[in-house]
Amino acid sequence: MTVAEVPPPVLTDAAWRGDELMKGDSWIYQLDDAQVAELEALGRTFLEEDPDLRFVKAEDYPLDVCAPAVASWRQDVDFGRGFVLVRGLRSDFYSDALSSAIYYVLGLHMGDPIRQNEMGDLLDHVYATSEKMMDDPTAKSSKVRDQLVYHSDSSDIVALMCLRGAKEGGLSCLVSGAQIYNEILERRPDLAHLLLQPFNWDWRRQDAEAPADTYTSPVVSVQDGVFSMYAGSLYIITAQDYPGVPKLTEDQLEVLRLFDEITYEPGMAIEMDFRPGDIQWLSNYAALHARTLFHDYPEPQRKRHLLRLWLSSKTSRPVVDNFGKNAVVQHRAESRTGAEHPEARFSIKPMSVPRLIS
């Protein structure tokens, strides 16, 4: 990709500013009583039957009342603004297992769950089990209270469900990848083409049991006219520590610095405070996400607790080859080696208890 071949600015709904979106609530979908009743009934059935999470299918738990809503969410996530916040479930009145069951059923209809780590977790817990900060290379982002920088996860869709919010902080922050690209194109058109070239990413720091130190992906994909972004400069920088990884050029470092500067400019991001029962569906190709520092209640049962799903999308979003971690993630039916990890768990019931990580 040369300077002359750089794609033009993105003019779709995927290019937005947070300060503009916050003037309204078009990004919030409020479930009605009939939709909530259907999901609660399906969740109870799911718990009673306790299917293997690796093999259960959406058609095993069909939606009727909620089907049009799910179709609209998929459209918004894949080809609209890139995210939607669904509100109305009453997780503060449910058991964590029932909330998990409802969430997993909806996830099956939004996409196909994929494994979030080499241990095989399909439904992960975002729950602080450590006082480490993110400057500690052993810190796991989903298990600490520290703020998280803007980044993309490893799936087509990342979803979060709030079981309990924090005592203070823990805001979910989203920023439009397309809008960042548009700003870079306007300010430094001479550097924009570098985002479409492959970078090395630190795989080991994202997952200590990863089978390799790094993988490669460009930051930007434009395929069949569809813009996608996979970002998080932290893991590009830390990948430089491994032997054999080519050193970043000054221009590459400059475009990464500019990317981060624009990301954090006032007005770029939208911030939302999760309520119990909220579900955020987010395209990893459309928006980057971050989190503010949070403080927990002292009682373990009141600690901030989110559930996370990684999904392969049910829609066909075109991306260039080897974009993001699509080439290295494990889909749910079988592990990378064909043998399951001894601590693997594939039932809602034991997975409703967080895995403790120091």
In tens, the pLDDT along 152-169 reads: 888 899 999 999 998 888
If DSSP codes are grouped into helix, strand and coil, which group holds residue 132?
coil
pLDDT on residue 358? 44
Q: For the residues 66-90, what does the mean pLDDT come to?
A: 96
Binning pLDDT at 50, 70 and 90, where does residue 4 land?
Answer: low
pLDDT on residue 339? 87
pLDDT in tens, 188-201: 999 999 999 999 99
Binning pLDDT at 50, 70 and 90, where does residue 147 land?
Answer: confident
pLDDT in tens, 105-146: 999 999 999 998 888 899 999 887 878 878 777 777 778 887
pLDDT in tens, 264-277: 999 999 999 999 99
Q: For the residues 293-322, what does the mean pLDDT come to?
A: 88
Is pLDDT above 70 for 326? no
If DSSP codes are grouped into helix, strand and coil, which group holds residue 184?
helix
The tokens describing 251, both together, are 């221009």
Q: At 207, which amino acid appears? A: D
pLDDT on residue 12? 94
Q: For the residues 28-46, what does the mean pLDDT come to?
A: 98
pLDDT on residue 50? 96
HSE, CB side, 13 Å, CA atoms: give it for residue 38: 15
pLDDT in tens, 196-247: 999 999 988 887 878 899 999 999 999 999 999 999 898 999 999 999 999 9
Q: Between these two residues, 111 and 357, which has the higher pLDDT value?
A: 111
The tokens describing 39, both together, are 């999901």
Contacts of 260 (CB under 8 A, 6+ apart): 150, 233
- Say if pTM beats, i.e. exceeds, 0.85: yes
Is pLDDT above 70 for 328? no
The β-bridge partners of 269 are 175
Report how far apart, in Å, the C-alpha atoms of 177 and of each of 16, 92, 249 are.
9, 33, 23
Domains of the chain plus CATH, in order, are 21-351 (3.60.130.10)
Tell me which H or E stretch contains 46.
Answer: helix 33-49
Is pLDDT above 50 for 304? yes
Beta strands in the chain (DSSP E): 28-30, 83-87, 111-113, 124-126, 148-151, 157-164, 168-169, 172-176, 199-202, 214-217, 220-223, 226-229, 269-272, 279-283, 287-291, 294-295, 305-313
78 with 313: CB under 8 angstroms? yes
Do β-strands 28-30 and 83-87 pair in parallel, antiparallel, or remain unpaired?
A: parallel
Is pLDDT above 60 for 79? yes
Using a 10 angstrom Cβ sphere, with 0-12 exposed, 13-18 middle and 19 or more buried, the burial of residue 46 is buried
pLDDT on residue 131? 84
Q: For the residues 8-23, what does the mean pLDDT come to?
A: 96
329 with 183: CB under 8 angstroms? no
Rounded Cα distance between 12 and 182, Å, is 11
Distance between alpha carbon 56 and the CA centroid of its chain, in Å? 22
Binning pLDDT at 50, 70 and 90, where does residue 3 land?
Answer: low
The β-bridge partners of 321 are none
Q: What is the average pLDDT value for the chain, to the nearest integer?
A: 91
pLDDT on residue 218? 95
If DSSP codes are grouped into helix, strand and coil, which group holds residue 47?
helix
**Residue length of the chain:** 358
DSSP secondary structure letters along 84-124:
EEEE---TTTS-HHHHHHHHHHHHHHHEEEB-SSTT--SSE
Rounded Cα distance between 208 and 192, Å, is 32
Tokens 């601590």 locate to 343
